[in-house]
Amino acid sequence: MTAFAEALARRQPDVLAETRTALANAAGPGLLVEAAAVAANFQRMVRIADSTGIPIDARSVAYGADVREELNLNRFGSAENTPPPSLWQRLFSPILRTVMRRKIRQMGRAHLQQNSTP
């Protein structure tokens, strides 16, 4: 699935054809259609973000700081659009993420309960 997404984004027609067939064979044509839709969606989103120079949202700067550093995402040219995290934000990044993860789990459970109630 990631190979298919990558081939689409890299505009590699031969690889795209190969990965399309491989994904359909491995996971079914239904999942292939969904993967194509999501990949197409994010071909749009990245262009909106970069073409308008938006920074990462303030609330996300702190809790993703260490992950972005670990993945070396700061090498991307569009990283210039986001001010670097402060020392405080870097130090508290793992703690904030733990809190956020717990909060997201709670929200997810509430969503599941809401949708499973007849």
Partner 1 sequence: MQAFDFSDSEYDIREDLPEAYRETWRRIAAPGSWWTGAERVAIAQETRNAVSCKFCQERKKTLSPYGMSGSHDCASLLPERAIDAVHRIITDQGRITQAYIDDNAAHNMSEEQYVELLGICVVVFSVDEFHRGLGLALEPLPKPKPGEPTGYRPAHTTRETGFVSMIPAAGATGEESDLWDPKRTANVLRALSLVPDAVRDWFVVHEAQYIALEDMMVNYGAIGNRPINRMQTELVASRVSAVNECFY
Asked if 89 is part of the footprint of partner 1 (rule: CB under 8 A), the reply reads no
Q: How far is the CB of 14 from partner 1 (least distance, A)?
A: 12
Asked if 62 is part of the footprint of partner 1 (rule: CB under 8 A), the reply reads no
Please tell me the distance from the alpha carbon of residue 109 to that of residue 91, in angstroms, as a whole number: 29
Please tell me the distance from the alpha carbon of residue 32 to that of residue 34, in angstroms, as a whole number: 5
Asked if 76 is part of the footprint of partner 1 (rule: CB under 8 A), the reply reads yes
Q: How far is the CB of 92 from partner 1 (least distance, A)?
A: 21
Backbone angles phi, psi at 54, to 5 degrees: -75, 140
Please tell me the distance from the alpha carbon of residue 87 to that of residue 21, in angstroms, as a whole number: 47
Asked if 69 is part of the footprint of partner 1 (rule: CB under 8 A), the reply reads no
Asked if 55 is part of the footprint of partner 1 (rule: CB under 8 A), the reply reads yes
Q: Out of 26, 67, 99, 107, point to the residue binding partner 1 (CB under 8 A).
A: 107
Asked if 104 is part of the footprint of partner 1 (rule: CB under 8 A), the reply reads yes
The span from the first CA to the last CA of the chain, in angstroms, equals 34
Asked if 26 is part of the footprint of partner 1 (rule: CB under 8 A), the reply reads no
Residues lying near partner 1 in the complex (CB under 8 A) are found at: 1-2, 4-6, 8-11, 16-17, 20, 27-57, 68, 73-74, 76-79, 81-82, 104, 107-108, 110-112
